[in-house]
A = this chain, B = another copy of it.
Amino acid sequence: MGVSLKDIAEKLNLSKTTVSWVLSGQGNKKGISAETQNRVFACARELSYEPNLLARSLNTGISKTIGLILPSISDSFYAHIAHQIESEAEKEGYSLMIASSNSEIERENAMIRLFRSKKVDGMIIAPTKISKREISRLVDSHYPVLLFDRYFPEMRVNYVIINNEESSYKLVRHLIDKGFRKIAIITTNPHLLTMDMRREGYANALSDAHIRINPDLYGEVTYVNYQDNIYSTLDRIFHAVPDVDAFFFTTHILAIEALRYFYDRGIDINDGNWGLASMHEDSLFRVLAPRMNIAHFPIEEIGSNAVRILLNQIRQSNDPAAGEYVPESKVLPCRMEFRDQ
Using CB atoms and an 8 Å cutoff, list the residues of chain A in contact with chain B: 1, 50-55, 57-58, 61, 63, 65, 72-76, 79-80, 82-83, 86-87, 90, 95-100, 113-119, 283-284, 287-288
Q: Which of B55, B76, B284 is within 8 Å of A79, CB to CB?
A: B76
Q: Are A116 and B50 also in contact (CB < 8 A) when A97-B97, A98-B98 are?
A: yes
Write the chain B residue with the least CB distance to A137. Answer: B48
Nearest-neighbour CB distance to chain B for A250, whole angstroms, equals: 21
Are A58 and B52 in contact, with the CB atoms below 8 A? yes
CB-CB < 8 A to A98: which residues of B?
Answer: 82, 86, 96-98
Write the chain B residue with the least CB distance to A50. Answer: B117
CB-CB < 8 A to A52: which residues of B?
Answer: 58, 117, 119
Nearest-neighbour CB distance to chain B for A133, whole angstroms, equals: 12
Are A83 and B76 in contact, with the CB atoms below 8 A? no
Docked complex Cα distance between A288 and B284 (Å): 9
Given contacts A1-B61, A65-B118, 7 further A-B pairs with CB under 8 A are A52-B119, A54-B63, A54-B119, A73-B86, A74-B79, A86-B98, A95-B118
Docked complex Cα distance between A102 and B79 (Å): 14
Q: Which of B95, B113, B118, B283 is within 8 Å of A99, CB to CB?
A: B95
Docked complex Cα distance between A324 and B1 (Å): 16
Docked complex Cα distance between A49 and B95 (Å): 26
CB-CB < 8 A to A61: which residues of B?
Answer: 1
CB-CB < 8 A to A53: which residues of B?
Answer: 117-119
CB-CB < 8 A to A55: which residues of B?
Answer: 58
Q: Which of B73, B87, B288 is within 8 Å of A82, CB to CB?
A: B73
CB-CB < 8 A to A87: which residues of B?
Answer: 100
Are B51 and A117 in contact, with the CB atoms below 8 A? yes
Nearest-neighbour CB distance to chain B for A54, whole angstroms, equals: 5
Write the chain B residue with the least CB distance to A61. Answer: B1
CB-CB < 8 A to A75: which residues of B?
Answer: 79
Q: Which of B54, B73, B83, B117 is within 8 Å of A100, CB to CB?
A: B83
Nearest-neighbour CB distance to chain B for A319, whole angstroms, equals: 14
CB-CB < 8 A to A90: which residues of B?
Answer: 99
